[in-house]
Amino acid sequence: MVTFEGMEQHRTSSGSSQSPRSPSSSQPFLSVSVTDPVKLGNGVQAYISYRVITKTNCPEYQGPEKIVIRRYSDFVWLRDRLFEKYKGIFIPPLPEKSAVEKFRFSAEFIEMRRQALDVFVNRIAAHHELQQSEDLRTFLQAEEETMERLRSHETGIFKKPSDLMQIFKDVQSKVSDVVLGKEKPVEESDPEYEKLKHYIFELENHLAEAQKHAYRLVKRHRELGQSLSDFGKAVKLLGASEGNALGKAFSELGIKSEILSVKLQKEAQQLLMSFEEPLKDYVRAVQSIKATIAERANAFRRQCELAETMKLKEINLDKLMLIRSDKVAEAEREYHELKAESEQATKTFGTIVKLMNEEIGRFQEQKTLDMGIAFHEFAKGQARLANGIADAWRSLLPKLEACSSS
Amino acid sequence: MMDSENHTSEEHLHPLSSSKEELENLHLHENNEYDPLITKSYSNYRSVMSTLSDSHNHPLSPPSLVSPADSDPLLSPPLNYREFPNPNSTDTSSYIDPPSYADAIFSNFDGETSSNGTDTPTRSSSDGIYFSRSASSNSEYLKITVSNPIKEQENSNSIVPGSSSYVTYLVTTRTNISEFGGSEFGVRRRFKDIVTLSDRLSEAYRGFFIPPRPDKSIVESQVMQKQEFVEQRRVALEKYLRRLADHPVIRKSDEFRVFLQVQGKLPLPTTTDVASRVLDGAAKLPKQLMGDSLIAPSEVVQPAKGGRDLMRLFKELKQSMANDWGSSKPPVVEEDKEFLAKKERISELELQINGASQQAESLVKAQQDMGETMGELGLAFIKLTKFENEEAVLDSQRARAADMKGVATAAVKASRLFRELNSQTVKHLDTLHEYLGLMLAVHSAFTDRSSALLTVQTLLSELSSLQSRAEKLEAASSKIFGGDKSRIRKLEELQETIRATEDAKNVAIREYERIKENNRSELERLDRERQTDFLNMLKGFVVNQVGYAEKIANVWTKVVEDTRGYAKEST
């Protein structure tokens, strides 16, 4: 659990890789760990389940410790719920869903995913708003059948009646936009926010490229390891046919080569876990921010639309009042409803803006920490590898000297 | 894909060239990161070799390469495994570690490696430095340089306008060997002359392990004149001549001397008509003996040439050897058991050298790829750093940008070190490749032997059949009282022939014995020199790896220190 340990310095409560720490005094804490991946089911239906262990002293929770079994789609459910409820907050990203079939159950992949899921839940648990979420509590405590029900409820395009309504409303507003001649969706004109959006979009590109090269670097390590292994074998064979001191020198070279091959494979794995994965995580985090940006745009649009509609309704109401129509009462009611909605929308939007401002600061700090650790581990790994290579080859030199003097 | 990456990096050179601070050095890196000479495809090992050895034009090339014309082998210090800033590089030398640091790294190994006189640096002939491997008591040297390619016109075919042109090279020799009667001289030679030299040597030095000459290339005349091709050829020619100069017997040969010294047209016969050439012994055979059943020994004496690929040639040879061994009774029976054992050992050795050479090739490629990707990673982070710095609103961003820059710089440095490591590795491991080439020479020499043996055996059997004919004739003519004039005449002729054949047989036997002795002494020399060369190769390779690994470790250790604040407190 190398990359995200920094959170421990930062937050009051956090998780660790294998098991949560034991409770201390009366300070409120919530610590979660995702462990113990197990393959269940058969063939195409097969999936991995994880043990999620929660230790807490918060009164909202059922008890000091709870263990549940969860699978990937449960995490997705949690993420989706949080995304809906906590607009403006950067919801921690999940590792990618699909993977090439062949690797879906490889030990490396499973471990990487487990780690990423652990980090995901812990970030939620550490976030002062998100940690209070009821959905989180459900996720951490509900029985498996309950989870299953909730989870399957979420699949399908139309999730809930309210969602349905929202979609219709969106269509409605789009139509009215076109009718009113507003082809382009309304957008904020806050220059600082524009800068931020531009930053986020650009950042994703740069990070994606860095991550791509990091992944390639992992591959290069593996390839170099393989070629050292092959080289070692070939050199040993050559040593065998040479015989005498030279032959022995070749053999020693071959042996060292094979040793280094192993070191390289190990380092490749380290590189993947401690450097490439954090970069990928960074990319995902940025993508999550993009989703929040989209939400903010939606909220802004909604606010504008409602304000517009409200104005129209107000004009209409005044008209009706003037002509003393009997539709006034109804129109008045509608107007007040709309007004309430409009105020709500404005409030929602305002909240999002406020939250985002806080979140950005927190995000940047967290990322500096995460990347600092990742860089440290990367450099450590490379130094360790280079020193290992130097040591291995260096140990050959006296033997080679002995050969030439004999 | 290579190209598009080149373009991407070049595009990004512009924004970076504007920044003046520490990134300036990195900018200079980037120019060289994607030098077209270096990023050629590495599927052809030899092209790697030639491009990398050619990199004395490259500002950041391994500084052990010195322009051939400049240095005198006796005056320059042994450039074994040191790294000096390349005299050709200017600004970039500020980025190469100062000599004292490099010395500190390498001086340990210098002390260890320079033990005895036979301990020479890698025999890569692209180095300007050449050390004779002869015994330390012998201070003879023979240094050859090939340079200055010039296009010249063929004057003879004046009927065809725009007649074929060819390239000549300046072959400069510096020597203190008395037979040459001069210490420094130069002649102009063309590739055809090399072929002639090679052919003459093969005939004159049967049984010796004569280094194989560079391949003829079947390319269009347009390609022939391309600078790249000419340069590749120049390098190949130089290597070949240096190998010849390295051979204790051939370096003293008339053919070689004439080639190196005689001005104007090369005075060696160029005819490829085999039958008319004067060969030691074999060509003096009466023609009627060269029946259809015989492999004309003169053909067999021809060195293996042609083909573009030594490797392929080797494979073909290997195949034919396998065929030979596979058949129930080889046509030629070599009775020397010791020789047969040695031959088999050489065969086995060849197989293993081939294997090692191939794996060396892929090792080099893997190292190269590592360096490249590391460089690309570094560049990506440089871009990120720049981006964060430009867009920074918060201090956390600036801090991150600073961290990133440390990593980026380290990655770019490490990338450069990988490349240098690799070009040195290529030079060392090339010894394997050289010996593969030499194996061809060995096969050729063994073939000389078996063909000579064949000649002897043929003559012996011819002799015995002639003699039995003579006996029959004698017996028949003695029955006729008074003699038979025609038969007597025939008998006399026959006896003439027998005498001639006897002479030829004796010559052939002498030739065979001579070749056998050549084989033997050459095998001894091969074993001896191979021990030295391979040992040097191993040492060179290992020292190189250690040196660069240490440097790379230092580069990253700095980043570890700089980011130590982020290290987790718990294990």
Complete domains list, chain B, with CATH: 142-153+164-267 (3.30.1520.10), 337-569 (1.20.1270.60)
Question: What residues in A contact B116, CB-CB < 8 Å?
Answer: 404-405
The more confidently predicted of residues A31 and B271 is A31
- What are all long-range contacts of B82-89, with beta carbons under 8 Å and residues at least 24 apart? B82/B106, B82/B110, B86/B56, B86/B59, B86/B60, B86/B61, B86/B62, B87/B63, B88/B56, B88/B57, B88/B59, B88/B61, B89/B59, B89/B60
Question: Is A10's Cβ below 8 Å from some Cβ in B?
Answer: no
- Tell me what the mean pLDDT of segment B461-471 comes to: 85
Residue B380 binned pLDDT confidence (cut-offs 50, 70, 90) = very high
Distance to chain A for B27, nearest Cα, Å? 18
Question: Is B108's Cβ below 8 Å from some Cβ in A?
Answer: no
Task: Report the percent of chain B where pLDDT is more than 90.
Answer: 31
Q: Taking 90 as the threshold, does the pLDDT of residue B36 lie above it?
A: no
Residue B99 confidence (pLDDT):
32
Distance to chain B for A23, nearest Cα, Å? 18
Mean pLDDT of chain B: 70
Residue B369 confidence (pLDDT):
96
Residue B160 binned pLDDT confidence (cut-offs 50, 70, 90) = low
Listed residue (B170, B177, B147) closest to B251, CA to CA: B177
The more confidently predicted of residues B301 and A355 is A355
Tokens read off for A227: 């070629």
Q: Tell me if A404 and B549 make a contact (CB, 8 A cut-off).
A: no
Question: Is B517's Cβ below 8 Å from some Cβ in A?
Answer: no
- Tell me what the mean pLDDT of segment B20-43 comes to: 39
Q: Taking 50 as the threshold, does the pLDDT of residue B83 lie above it?
A: no
* Residue of B42, B80, B133, B362 to mutate for A, most A C-beta atoms under 10 A: B362
Highest-scoring range by mean pLDDT, A39-53, A94-108, B275-289, B329-343 = A39-53
Distance to chain A for B114, nearest Cα, Å? 10
Question: What residues in B contact A238, CB-CB < 8 Å?
Answer: 349, 352-353, 355-356
Question: What residues in A contact B349, CB-CB < 8 Å?
Answer: 238, 241-242
Question: Is B2's Cβ below 8 Å from some Cβ in A?
Answer: no
Model ipTM value: 0.84
Nearest-angstrom CA–CA distance, B15 and B30:
12
Please report, in tens digits, the pLDDT of each residue of chain A (406 residues total): 333 444 443 443 444 444 555 555 567 888 999 999 998 888 888 888 999 999 998 888 888 999 999 999 999 999 999 999 999 999 999 998 766 665 667 788 888 899 999 999 999 999 999 999 999 999 999 998 888 888 887 654 444 455 555 555 555 655 655 566 555 667 888 898 999 999 999 999 999 999 999 999 999 999 999 999 999 999 999 999 988 889 999 999 999 999 999 999 999 999 999 999 999 999 999 999 999 999 999 999 999 999 888 888 888 888 888 887 788 888 888 888 888 999 999 999 999 999 999 999 999 999 999 999 999 999 999 999 999 999 999 999 998 888 776 5
- Tell me what the mean pLDDT of segment B44-62 comes to: 41
Q: Which residue segments constitute the domains of chain A, with CATH numbers given?
A: 30-142 (3.30.1520.10), 192-405 (1.20.1270.60)
Q: Tell me if A390 and B355 make a contact (CB, 8 A cut-off).
A: no
Question: What residues in A contact B542, CB-CB < 8 Å?
Answer: 253, 393, 396-397, 400
Q: A151-160, B182-191, B233-242, B360-369: lowest mean pLDDT where? A: A151-160
The more confidently predicted of residues A71 and B69 is A71
- Tell me what the mean pLDDT of segment B379-384 comes to: 96
Residues in contact with A55: Cβ distance below 8 Å, sequence separation at least 6, in sequence order: A20, A21, A22, A23, A29, A30, A31, A32, A64, A65
Q: Taking 70 as the threshold, does the pLDDT of residue B94 lie above it?
A: no
Distance to chain B for A82, nearest Cα, Å? 27
Residue B432 confidence (pLDDT):
92
Task: Report the percent of chain B where pLDDT is more than 70.
Answer: 60
**DSSP state for residue B146 in the 8-state scheme:** E
Question: Is B75's Cβ below 8 Å from some Cβ in A?
Answer: no
Over residues B499-534, the pLDDT tens digits come to 888 888 888 889 999 999 999 999 999 999 999 999
Residue A292 confidence (pLDDT):
93
Nearest-angstrom CA–CA distance, B237 and B147:
10
Q: Tell me if A383 and B543 make a contact (CB, 8 A cut-off).
A: no
Over residues A160-191, the pLDDT tens digits come to 455 555 555 555 655 655 566 555 667 888 89
The more confidently predicted of residues B139 and B470 is B470
Q: Tell me if A367 and B384 make a contact (CB, 8 A cut-off).
A: no
Of B345, B541, B568, the CB nearest to A5: B568
Region at A299 (left for phi over 0; alpha for psi -120 to 50; beta for the rest):
alpha
Residue B157 confidence (pLDDT):
56
Matching residue, tokens 């009627």? B288
- Tell me what the mean pLDDT of segment B32-52 comes to: 40
Residue B465 binned pLDDT confidence (cut-offs 50, 70, 90) = confident
Highest-scoring range by mean pLDDT, B15-19, B74-78, B495-499 = B495-499
Q: Tell me if B543 and A369 make a contact (CB, 8 A cut-off).
A: no
Q: Taking 90 as the threshold, does the pLDDT of residue B31 lie above it?
A: no
Question: Is A26's Cβ below 8 Å from some Cβ in B?
Answer: no
